[in-house]
Every structure is written in C-alpha cells, then in structure tokens.
Structure 1
C-alpha cells in the first residue's frame, strides 16, 4: 500500500475516533441555561440566570440573580445558589446573598455519610433525612407528586401545595409565600409575595 493511502487511512481513523468521542461527550454531559426577568410593578429591575448540567448520574444546578430597586432608599440584591445531586440525592448546596455589597446570607448543606451538615453564618446543625429535591430543582421540574421540598436558604423542608393545574404555592417560615407556575413541565413564572412588596420572576 502506498504511503499516501496509509496516511489517508490514518486521518480517516483519527477523524472517526474524534467524531465518536464528541458524540459520547455530548450524550454524557447535557447543559441547559434559561433566563428570567425580575419585575416589580411590571418594571424590570433585574435578571436571573438558571443553569442545569447533567453528567453521568450527576446533576449540577446554579442560579445567579441581580436586582436593584428603590423603597425609601436604593437596594441592590445579588444572590447565587448552587446544588449538586448524585443519582437523585443532594450531595451539597450553597446560598450566598449580598445586599448593597454586604453579605447577608452564607449557607451550606453538605452530605456527610448518611446525614447532612447544615452551616448558616455562625450556626452548625445536622439533618437526618435524605434530600431528593430542593427549591432550585423546581426551575427544571414540575413538582407534581411532591408534598414537601427542601429549602437551601431556610435549611428545612417546606410544604408545597397545588393551587390549580400546574400552579403551586410554598409557604415560607417568615409568613411570606411563593407561587410557581409551570407550562410543559418548565417553570415559566415565580411570584414572591412579601408583606411589603411583590416580586415576579418571568421567563425571558
């Protein structure tokens, strides 16, 4: 066989191998990003980006938001949340929130052996039950069969109730509540009901 033919075959084999590997990588790791507008009184005051990545039994979730509003004075809130699930079980999560540049929340949930270590600013505690869902996961999946969902911010399970088809309400420990609205299994809108204001996060 001529050297030119051997070189051609080598290049074809290399190309086929790289193409096959790229297909496997694409199947093994799937990433999706969606964006939401943050509104108050129908005015856009910020943006939120939600990302999910699936990779060989692992699910990585992240949410980053920034909003600026004015009550008596200007308030800028920046939030970042992350969660890692492995085979449907929460491995770790974190919530960080800054208001006008100052840290207001820094909370972590970590699976250690068969229980969770909960860290919240200056407090450490434990949770002895499995966590198979959390609030971040609601952005990706409609909670059709859930009665409770884990809050990484409050570090406890909260009751979730269906209020109408594809609509759900979560009552928060501070007396406020959030409404979630879904279409085709995707979270289209979240309305945060606070005693002093109402914030809407709508799919952009």
Structure 2
C-alpha cells in the first residue's frame, strides 16, 4: 500500500510541476516523504439494509509525520426493484491539518456515476465534477466527511463534503451522536463510543441503511 501511495503522490507531483502549481507540488512531495515511514491501519464496517448485510466498507489510513492519507472503499450488492451493484472509492490526503487532495468515485452496475476531485491551491481549491472545473473559495479545509469515520467531531459545526463539494452543517443531537444534513434533504447520523465511530445511519428518500463497525 505504501509503495502504491508513493507512486500516486509522485505522479501528482509531476503533473502539478508541469502546470506550475509549485506550492501544491511541494506539499505532495512532503506527503510522500512522510508516508515512507508511515503507520497503516485498516477498519471494516458492514452495510446493513433491513437487517441484512448487503455490503462492506473498508477504511484504510496511513499516517506519517504531518501527513494523513485515508481511503474508503464500499461495495454493495442488493436488489430493490432490480439487481444493483455499487462500488464507491473515496480518498483524501491531508498535510499539516489541511486537505490537499481528495477523490470521490462511484460506479453503479459498472457505469461511472460520480467522478469528483478537490485539489488545494494557494488561497482556494480547484474542484472537478464529472469533467467540469470550478473554484471553491476556501483557503483551508481541515475536516471533510471522511474524517467522521476517524474522529468524533466535537465542537465542529461545518464539514466539507467531497461529493457535494460544499460545506455542510453538522449538529450534536445527543450523547456522542451527530446529524449531518445533505443539500438533497437526506441526512446521516454518526454514533461514537470512546471517540470511535461505531455506526452510521443513512436516511434517504429511497431507502434507509446502516454502516456498522465490526
């Protein structure tokens, strides 16, 4: 995993050096150097729908120095009106507490439905959404949705969504329980025990499901 991450970061470094984004290139080089002596950790969750396991979520984190890389891979196979298979891949890289790069990709029955990236610039972020590029005006994103699986958001009121590419409001609704509201009217509830995310309840207009830590 570490060699693959280093290769990935070096490729990004070359691309951004060519495009003149030297500050981001330097950050990614520092990230690659830190990851060389990194610690690797993997946690598994089960995806539950109507009391039945329909998939799994694997969360892998690599930490080293001031850098953090997190990947979340979810595979779901179930049947609603018809058979459906979903694979979601999300990746985030932080350096010195700042999000420098994230990827969100989702395939449904083999067809790509979501392909979005967020890349740090000098005073803002470049965001790409299915081939369309725009600017997100924020000089620093220090907590995105993926981080909810890694740490309890105590005292945090807004979180960056790599999928929606905007800040979302999060609120403490009970003991170690937090509600994240989506722009489409859906919401998630995150539950924590001793600072560890043990369960996520997903409420949507079409279905409800749970993501439960093993």
With structure 1 as the length reference, what TM-score do the two structures score? 0.85
SS in 1 for 2:39: strand
Aligned residues: 180
Residue of structure 1 in register with 2:160 after alignment: 150
Among 38, 53, 73, the residue aligned to 1:29: 38
Deviation at 1:196, TM superposition (A): 1.7
SS in 2 for 1:95: strand
- What is the alpha-carbon distance in structure 1 between the residues aligned to residue 180 and residue 121 of structure 2? 28
Deviation at 1:41, TM superposition (A): 0.4
Residue of structure 1 in register with 2:68 after alignment: 59
Residue of structure 2 in register with 1:91 after alignment: 100
SS in 2 for 1:53: strand
Q: Which runs of 4+ in 1 moved over 4 A?
A: none
Deviation at 1:122, TM superposition (A): 3.0
SS in 2 for 1:138: helix
Residue of structure 1 in register with 2:91 after alignment: 82
Residue of structure 1 in register with 2:133 after alignment: 124
With structure 2 as the length reference, what TM-score do the two structures score? 0.81
Residue of structure 2 in register with 1:11 after alignment: none
- What is the alpha-carbon distance in structure 2 between the residues aligned to residue 68 and residue 31 of structure 1? 28
Residue of structure 1 in register with 2:202 after alignment: 192
- What is the alpha-carbon distance in structure 2 between the residues aligned to residue 125 and residue 192 of structure 1? 29
Q: Per residue, is there more strand in 1 or in 2?
A: 1
- What is the alpha-carbon distance in structure 1 between the residues aligned to residue 171 and residue 193 of structure 2? 17
- 2:66 pairs with 1:50: no
Deviation at 1:183, TM superposition (A): 0.5
Unaligned runs of 5+ in 1: 1-24
Residue of structure 2 in register with 1:113 after alignment: 122
Unaligned runs of 5+ in 2: 1-33
- What is the alpha-carbon distance in structure 2 between the residues aligned to residue 57 and residue 121 of structure 1? 31
Residue of structure 2 in register with 1:164 after alignment: 174
- What is the alpha-carbon distance in structure 1 between the residues aligned to residue 92 and residue 213 of structure 2? 21
Larger radius of gyration: 1
Among 155, 179, 186, the residue aligned to 2:189: 179
Residue of structure 1 in register with 2:213 after alignment: 203
SS in 1 for 2:153: coil
